[in-house]
Amino acid sequence: MTQVRKWIPDQHGAWAMLAVPFLAGTFLAPRPGWAHAALFAAWLLGYVAVFHAQQWLRLRARGLRSARRHARPAVVFGAAFAVTGVPLAVLYPWLAAAALLAAPFVAVNTYHARRGRERALVNGLAAVVPACGMLMVAAGLGGLGPARSWEPAVACLLYFAGTVPYVKTMIRERNSRAYRVGSVTYHALALAAAACLSPWLALPFTAYLARAAALPGRGLRVPLVGAVELACATALLATLLLAF
């Protein structure tokens, strides 16, 4: 069990991005059920398997022996994903089509991982799209069609896409004026777009704009940055369930 815990990626921001859209889609749907629990397990297992496979590719491309430590968890979690996901695909064949739609974005992430460019802006944005698309998948599994689930999915996309440049302004690009201006500009546009989806969304998106404008340059520690984003993601989930 200790070894398995060591295999779990410590990408804290990724876990919120994986969970919030899925949970929103599940609880917005009129018929949440056991299939959602199975799909959520498959979704998380698939993420961990892909993470380790990409790390294996990245390190192997550089000829590093440390790549081997990612091989076993990639296989173990990949097998667990298959055991959980294949029966769901048999019962709900449209899930396989949804997975194919996500494949190009996973390919972009894999390419950047192999090149050692996982922190690239494009790579982060590519990861956001299928994660937010899972809202529509979870909603569809519970009987809520695309005509009613696309708006909360877009709201998730607006928020999580904004976290990519914002987090950079707090950590790796903390001294970049261009990133700060770009982040604030994006959040202002996202606020306008979100308010068009629902007036309720103006509340959290105003807070997202305020934190993008006020927090960079204040020297916040990484754990505090993560805690703020966890609160922001929780506020988004609550607002989505209220608004839609």
In angstroms, what CA-CA distances link 244 with 31, 199, 230? 15, 11, 21
Evaluate if pTM is beyond 0.85: yes
User: What whole-number distance in Å separates Cα of residue 51 and Cα of residue 73?
Assistant: 10
User: What whole-number distance in Å separates Cα of residue 47 and Cα of residue 78?
Assistant: 9
Give the side-chain half-sphere CA count within 13 A for 207. 14
What are 210's two structure tokens?
A: 């305020």
pLDDT, average across residues 139-146: 97
CB 108 within 8 A of CB 123: yes
pLDDT > 70 fraction of the chain, expressed in percent and rounded? 98
CB 124 within 8 A of CB 173: no
User: What whole-number distance in Å separates Cα of residue 70 and Cα of residue 193?
Assistant: 41
CB 130 within 8 A of CB 102: yes
What are 103's two structure tokens?
A: 């494949």
CB 24 within 8 A of CB 238: no
User: 15: which residues sit within 8 A by CB, 6+ positions away?
Assistant: none
pLDDT tens for each residue of 200-221: 999 999 999 999 999 999 999 9
Mean pLDDT is highest, among 1-15, 103-117, 181-195, for 181-195
The DSSP code for 65 is G
Sorting pLDDT into bands at 50, 70 and 90, what band is 1? low
CB 69 within 8 A of CB 178: no
pLDDT tens for each residue of 81-121: 999 999 999 999 999 999 999 999 999 999 999 898 989 99
- Indicate if the pLDDT at residue 236 is higher than 70: yes
State residue 10's pLDDT score: 78
